[in-house]
Structure 1
Amino acid sequence: MCRGLAALPFACFERAKEFKTRLRLLLHKTELGHELSSSKPLWGTKMRYSSEEVLGWKQSFDQLLKSKNGLSAFHTFLKTEFSEENLEFWLACEDYKKTRSKSKLASKANRIFEKFIQNEAPREVNIDHETRELTRKNLTSATSACFDEAQAKTRTLMEKDSYPRFLKSTSYWKMTEQASSHGTSKQSHT
């Protein structure tokens, strides 16, 4: 079906990408165990966050990344957008930088590359060809900095694109309301 004229490979590529997206949607619905159209926040409503913590996430992207609960909430939000691989890659790079053993650096670097960077990787992040090739070259002598460029591009993408949508999401606003009302009810009981 995808053979023939020169224009067809692009059409086949686009069709394959669309199929991959639809397949991920089905898998995520099953994984999450509910419909994405649910009005409930996807991260548990039983979780209680302080008003300061939740409002702190709005102060800066760095504040969000420093918060364990913030990371969890943002990750869940990214799942609804089918872009959680960006945060997972960023976190894998943060963990990778902590690796002290030279022998483990190379094997960890290869696993991260195969999972997130190489073409058609199972959790492929959206980076340009030059960054992908630079990262591939960096693997020949794996250092703690070999993913720095790719990690920075992924972080910028999340900060400029996903993070503003997270802050405008219904789920984030419900969390701020819940945290505020929880703080208010605590104060009235003391």
Structure 2
Amino acid sequence: MSCWMPGCPALSMCRGLAALPITCLERAKDLKTRLGILLHKPEPGHKSGSSSKLQLGSRRRNSSQEVLEWRESFDQLLKSKSGVNAFHTFLKTEFSEENLDFWLACEDFKKTRSKTKLASKANRIFEEFVQNEAPREVNIDHETREITRKNLSGATSACFNEAQAKTRTLMEKDSYPRFLKSASYQDMTKQAASRGASKRSHT
């Protein structure tokens, strides 16, 4: 039975319970506010203003130069992290990104030092990219596929060299020229050239 008499213990308890969620909500809001302040607080030693603008400008100049260097050679493109990303995005539009993914997997594979990991990685790469009807099968000839299969029996860091070289040549002669002619790369070079001209006019 409810009691609404002043001073009733049941009423005090009800009031206390009713107040609890509000207190929790207030604490949650306070915590969220503090967390927001911490997230937006600059890190110690972080300089704002003109110095950060100079750093951003420097990065833009570097990236502009990089973009123009990609057309010099396929090697220049592969040396650039942003170049690889841009090329990968282009390959996705042609549904042939597995070639670059295989090449990158081989590059990572070569850095493996543990013999146990080398063998397991080799099998995984072979099953994903090289074997017949692999989920992401790369376009290599039957002979290269068989050589690679035999190499797995005594996996070394060089066991994918021939298949990787064939895939690289295919990208260099086929996909790379199309990438350089693509609208996306043409836009990047125009922006890079524009930034370069703007820089020269201010010096």
- State the TM-score, normalizing by the size of structure 2: 0.67
What is the CA deviation profile of residues 24-50 of structure 1, one whole-angstrom value per residue up to 9, with x for unaligned ones?
A: xxxxxxxxxxxxxxxxxxxxxxx9563
The aligned residue for residue 19 of structure 2 is none
Paired residues of 1:139 and 1:146 also in contact (CA < 8 A): yes
Over the aligned positions, Cα root-mean-square deviation in angstroms equals 1.5
Whole-Å Cα distance in 2 between the matches of residues 61 and 139 of structure 1? 29
Larger relative helix fraction: 2
Which one scores higher on RCO, CA 8 angstroms, separation ≥ 6? 1
Q: How many corresponding residue pairs? A: 144
Partner secondary structure for residue 50 of structure 1: helix
Q: Percent of aligned positions with the same letter in both sequences?
A: 82
2:68–2:192: 8 Å Cα contact kept in structure 1? no
* Structure with greater Cα Rg: 2
CA distance in structure 2 between the aligned counterparts of 1:122 and 1:177, rounded to whole angstroms? 38
For residues 188 and 121 of structure 1, what CA distance do their matches in structure 2 show? Answer: 54
In structure 2, the residue matched to 1:81 is 94
CA distance in 1, matches of 2:199, 2:101: 35
Contact 2:70 2:77 in 1 (8 A): yes
CA distance in 1, matches of 2:142, 2:73: 29
Match of 1:101 in 2: 114
Deviation per CA, 1:136-177: give whole Å up to 9, x if none: 110001000100010000000000000011111111110000
CA–CA distance in 2 between the matches of 1:81 and 1:178? 24
Match of 1:149 in 2: 162
Instruction: Tell me by how many angstroms 1:54 deviates.
Output: 1.1
Q: How far off is 1:183 after superposition?
A: 2.8
- Matched residue SS, 2:70: helix
Q: List aligned pairs for 1:46-57, cutoff 5 A.
A: 50-57=63-70
CA contact (8 A) 2:140 2:167 kept: yes
Moved over 6 A (4+): none
Aligned to 2:192: 179
Is contact 2:98-2:138 (8 Å) kept? yes
In structure 2, how many angstroms separate the alpha carbons of the residues matched to 1:117 and 1:98?
Answer: 20
